[in-house]
Structure 1
């Protein structure tokens, strides 16, 4: 199992490639640039937390987390905005390890929940999140996992 760690600036070219691969998987064309990733992950006001799965030949996957809030309840949360594992590394528990690291990160930030959305047709991802302890909360589908 490759180690999961916070991304550093030198990871951005590989993360960019992975983000483009995720977009292609969904039939989209990614327009994100390295400059935008650097701004949003390492700029003066970071918007995204990136966790990466590092292997011997580079990054095998990443998780991108964005803050959320339920102000009326005073509840902090995180959205697992992206989770991607490259084709050659799937089926080895890397996605699960990235999710666990994302949950740990959210808990360390005082969050009481993590949300994630999937494409309505992506039954595999929906099953994956259910198996990881997430509950479906909307029909589009969106999932949430409460943290202790």
Structure 2
């Protein structure tokens, strides 16, 4: 069953966030407190959907808002899509993706983006099979670290 995440899910959700980061070779530093703030705080930053299995969560999708201001378009970025290793191949990823697209439509988004690492052929094939089209980033992207700077 797919449903919006609740505060009771945060511990399991945090473990899955860490598992996805490890899969990509990253060391996650997200905490339950971070997820509480970003999903359920006074200014929610993310929306998460979870796949509830018989005994535990088996996957999640995390979305965040985007915009193409010059075109007057709202969008969503599917920032994370994760299915637990032992639950893969059961259609959970497809179901979470479909629910994510439905959620984006409910928020009047006109597009959804998702990114993969260049070498992640499995994810690339999955998104192409679900109707996504390649949308290479044009130009350069810059970042400014606000932590510890005036």
Question: Fold-level match, TM-score > 0.5?
Answer: yes
Q: How many residues align?
A: 138
Q: Which sections of structure 1, spanning at least 5 residues, go unmatched?
A: 141-148
TM superposition score normalised by structure 2: 0.90
Match of 1:27 among 25, 28, 45: 25
- Note the 1:37-56 alignment, pairs <5 A: 37-56=35-54
Match of 1:71 among 57, 69, 79: 69
- Hey, what's the Cα distance between the residues in 2 that align with 1:85 and 1:34? 19
How far apart are 1:57 and its partner, in Å?
1.6
Structure number with bigger Rg: 2
Q: Which has the higher strand share?
A: 1
CA deviations 1:120-141 (Å, max 9, x no partner) are: 000000000001110001079x
How far apart are 1:47 and its partner, in Å?
0.3
Q: Which sections of structure 2, spanning at least 5 residues, go unmatched?
A: 139-150
- Note the 1:1-148 alignment, pairs <5 A: 3-138=1-136
Kindly report the root-mean-square deviation, in angstroms, between the aligned alpha carbons of the 2 structures.
1.0
The runs of at least 4 consecutive aligned structure 1 residues that moved more than 6 Å come to none
- Hey, what's the Cα distance between the residues in 1 that align with 2:135 and 2:32? 34
CA deviations 1:102-135 (Å, max 9, x no partner) are: 0000000000000000000000000000011100
TM superposition score normalised by structure 1: 0.92
